[in-house]
Amino acid sequence: MIIFGTKGYLYQLAILTLVCGQCGNPSAHTLRKRVTKFTLFFVPLFPVSTKYVTQCTFCGAEQKVTGEQAEQLQAQAASGGHGGQQSYGQPQQPYQS
């Protein structure tokens, strides 16, 4: 008997200040990566899907971004502004797909 399935992972990559497309406020946004991995006997083997989203901490609106955009945003977050500070301290929520 072979047991397989998928498991979702959520990584918080960066926090940056962006103007929100939803509420229009220049507020902190979290950049997150959602990875769905194929598991065999509960061992994650390889990712089957990777998605990037930003979420406005002001209104909670989520926006999908491409991997390229996510890299740019990470570079932007690393180069200035917050300097790696994680002052928002939101607990990591395990993502269940």
* Beta carbon nearer to Zn ion, 26 or 80: 26
Tell which residue, 75, 81, 66, has the closest CA to residue 13: 75
Judged by the rule CB under 5 A, the positions of this chain that interact with Zn ion are 20, 22-23, 56, 58-59, 61
What sign for the dihedral angle of Cα 88, 67, 61, 5? negative
- Residue 63: CB minimum distance to Zn ion, A: 9
Q: Phi first, then psi: what are they for 33, rounded to 5°?
A: -115, 130
CA distance 4 to 41: 6
- Residue 90: CB minimum distance to Zn ion, A: 16
* Beta carbon nearer to Zn ion, 22 or 86: 22
- Residue 84: CB minimum distance to Zn ion, A: 23
* Helix, strand or coil, per DSSP, at residue 37: strand
* Beta carbon nearer to Zn ion, 43 or 59: 59
